[in-house]
């Protein structure tokens, strides 16, 4: 099944990508934050990456290319947690780009304040960096 955005651009089928499972750190979202995240935003020259929800997964897209995919699942604590993360080997980007989207994306209202993001996700960023250190 192909993904076609609201402007009629056909991005193709994400299942044709040879996704590679990658390490990740959790970025929990509340119900309100998940609603904002699911509504996404329109990309432009300054913010070319944007998230979409298609079938069960969320994806990051840039200029018509599937960058990464990830699965959010609601936990017993009432928050949504990342349970799977995959990167497109042709794009060689992924989790760090997702952090940028959470922080800088054109969500309306903003998904996080800068202070909230820094305080709440410092641990996740540290965990991710320690996973990926040689």
Domain count within the chain = 1
114 by DSSP, 3-state: which?
Answer: helix
Question: Alpha-carbon distance 69 to 54, whole Å?
Answer: 10
Q: Is residue 13 part of a domain?
A: no
64 by DSSP, 3-state: which?
Answer: coil
Q: Is residue 9 part of a domain?
A: no
Residue 125 contacts residue 99 (beta carbons within 8 Å): yes
Q: Is residue 7 part of a domain?
A: no
User: What's the pLDDT at 75?
Assistant: 96
Low-confidence ranges of the chain (pLDDT < 70): 5-7, 92, 120, 125, 127-134
User: What's the pLDDT at 78?
Assistant: 97
Domain hosting residue 48, numbered range: 20-131
User: What's the pLDDT at 107?
Assistant: 86
Q: Is residue 15 part of a domain?
A: no
Q: Is residue 54 part of a domain?
A: yes
Q: Is residue 58 part of a domain?
A: yes
Q: Is residue 59 part of a domain?
A: yes
Question: Alpha-carbon distance 97 to 20, whole Å?
Answer: 16
């Amino acid at each position: 099944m192909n993904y076609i955005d609201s402007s009629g651009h056909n991005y193709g089928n994400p299942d044709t990508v040879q996704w590679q499972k990658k390490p990740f750190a959790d970025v929990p979202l509340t119900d309100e934050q998940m609603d904002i995240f699911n509504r996404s935003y329109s990309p432009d020259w300054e913010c070319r990456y944007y998230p979409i929800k298609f079938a069960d997964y969320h994806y990051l897209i840039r200029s018509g290319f599937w960058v990464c995919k990830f699965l959010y699942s609601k936990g017993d604590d009432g928050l949504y947690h990342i349970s799977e993360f995959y990167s497109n080997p042709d794009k060689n980007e992924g989790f760090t780009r997702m952090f940028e989207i959470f922080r800088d994306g054109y969500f309306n209202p903003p998904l996080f304040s800068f202070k909230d993001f820094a305080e709440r996700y410092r641990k996740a960023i540290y965990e991710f960096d320690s996973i990926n250190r040689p």
